[in-house]
Structure 1
Amino acid sequence: MKKAFVAIAVSTSLFVLSACGNNSDTVVESSAGNVTKEELYTAMKTSKVGGSDTLKLLVTEKVLDKKYDVTDAEIDEEIKKVKEQTGEKFDMALKQAGLKDEAALKKFLNGQLLIQKAIEESLTEEELNTPKVKVSHILIQTEGKDAAAAEAKAKEIKAKVDAGEDFATLAKEHSEDDGTKEKGGDVGTIVPGQMVPEFEAAALKLKTGEVSDLVKSKFGYHIIKATERTEYSELSEAEQKAAKEQAMQVKYSNGAAEKIIQKELDDAKVEVKDDDFKDLFKAPEEAEKK
């Protein structure tokens, strides 16, 4: 549902669990505050999503609210983005997201922005200060082939590159990546998390004009050339913001975000009083043991 609803999709992917309830007035206790049955019921009426999804979001919001601040201005800005992107379909978009009205969206976005701030704080200098590197490559595949012969061919091509032969021409002649060979091997700018780890690690180390040694991945042998490199400090403010967003997205996609939030919940000593939700706040690997 476009970028403004990415947080909603993230929440759903993080907390897809089942629902129910019992007669206890307090459903969950934590050092950040308790959630009562009445509070859960009220939240479910406004969000129109399952009890366990709503409960986990309620508790997560209470826990994160103790550490992070979300301003009304930040929420209003997100609302504005949603309205700009959905236009006349705003109300329909809310219904599709399981939200009753704009007030429910504001409440939901408050929780999502708290999660976002927790993920953002976890970013390391290395994750943030990623350079912008544009690369080309030559791929010699290994799947279904004699691995030694593929390696020998890759070494032969690398020798030609080292001898000064034109990289783009060699890519068109020898690369087995049909998506890039006709473009002289042009891959474009490396986006963290979108390439296989071996390729990404090697590419991000290269200076402009530099060529890697052979890089082995599940696809085969790569010869990578950096055609343009811009250090993080040289990026525009907008590019740095985009780089931060991309670094956070990597954490969402590789499961690191879920572990960060789980640690916040563990640190808050969440205690479930309702048996129907007894495994809700356990790490996935713990729940699987039950």
Structure 2
Amino acid sequence: MKKTAWIALLTFAVAVPACKAPGDVLATYDNGKITRAEFYDWMEMKRISREAAVKSIKQQKSRLEAMALDRLAAEEARKEKLDQSADFAALRDMATDSQLMELLYEKEIRDKKKFSVPAVKAQHIMLRIRDYKIKNNRQEKLTAEELSAETNQVLSKARGIISKLKKGEKFENLASRYSEDNSRRKGGDAGFIVHGMMPGEYTEAAFALGRGEYTPQPVLVRNSVYVIKVTKKKTLTDRNVEKEMGDKMQAARIKNRFYNEAAREYLEKLAAEKDVVSHLEEPVVPGKNHVIFKIADRDYTVEDLNKRTVVYHNRQKGRPRVAMTPEQKKLMAQNFFRVELLKREAARRGLDRDQTFLKRAALRTDGLLAREYYKKKTDQPLAVTAREITEEYEQNKEQRYYRMQAKGKEKVKVIEPLGTVEGRIRKMLEGKKRAAVMKDARDDLLKRYNFKINQKKLEGK
């Protein structure tokens, strides 16, 4: 190979990684920096689409600011010892548990479980059966006799549509003309359907059809009537689902259905282990030493459950404290049981020492601390004067503070009295002031710590 060719290859090999190296410094602040790898980790933890973010320099700048603010606000919170309260410690532990369970889910369900399910790609025309009528500008529920007549009328309309199909009219055109759901915009396209996604009557009818066939009779499903056509029959797997569906969101829904079922089975298996005892079917009694479940040598009592409940109630400051119903207590106990089972399994697999978990937990803790810092900043009293309320009302009553009232066959605009909307205006103005305080706090942090973005290292346009 010629020397110039070698040089070109070497230049390419060196230049390409340099554009997107994990160690690239994207932003700096006093005594700190954000590398590309750290930025990607933060976006993953926040469930922000990296693919979308790297296409836009503007979006990357906004995300980098948010990441820096998490770190800087967390640092300020530590200086003010906000991380040393029992309330925050309990909140942090619950968030850390969540990160641990998420990693267990990724490794044991998402990355290991395979699926293969029959599916049909369907189009449909959906007609609603209205179970009410309008009388004196009010809705009234139909009587059984009226509902039966309405149902028969809609079924008759559906049969008429099927007759048009038999005469050769296109399904897409009829769907656009008659269907009463959002699929009409796409010619009735309902996408791929697997068992359990739709009501039983719909699923049974769709899977009974061959490719290109439509239902010879209308399909009655609750308060709707469907005419269904199957355009494709496929076996969807974890490998081909995105390619076959051509729609990432719908593919994700199919995957999640399967993975959620796999997760349920996984949890049931853990709950069936010999050293696990559950009393969750029994009422949660008030006695603090009452055992609600046992895992290995540890008893989990009502007192343990109450500690979790206290954390929840403490986060509801400013709102009326409502006593939990027995059903709510039972649901919280069931969730507590699931969390402890999954935590133990994650620990048995060493995931509590996994670098991915430790990194995510640290990021999550910073995010929580940042929230505590901002919460303290905005917890100060925010006075709204009577004059401010009156000015807001007078300036915007025509656009915001009115209701439409029936007058004969027409509806007229009626301005609400100030006394009626005063509370609403006060709350809105308090929110605006709180947002302004929050913005000032963030701007101050970025300025004090000399935050700067290295735009040359950003991707996209």
TM-score (norm 1): 0.48
Structure with the higher strand share, 1 or 2: 2
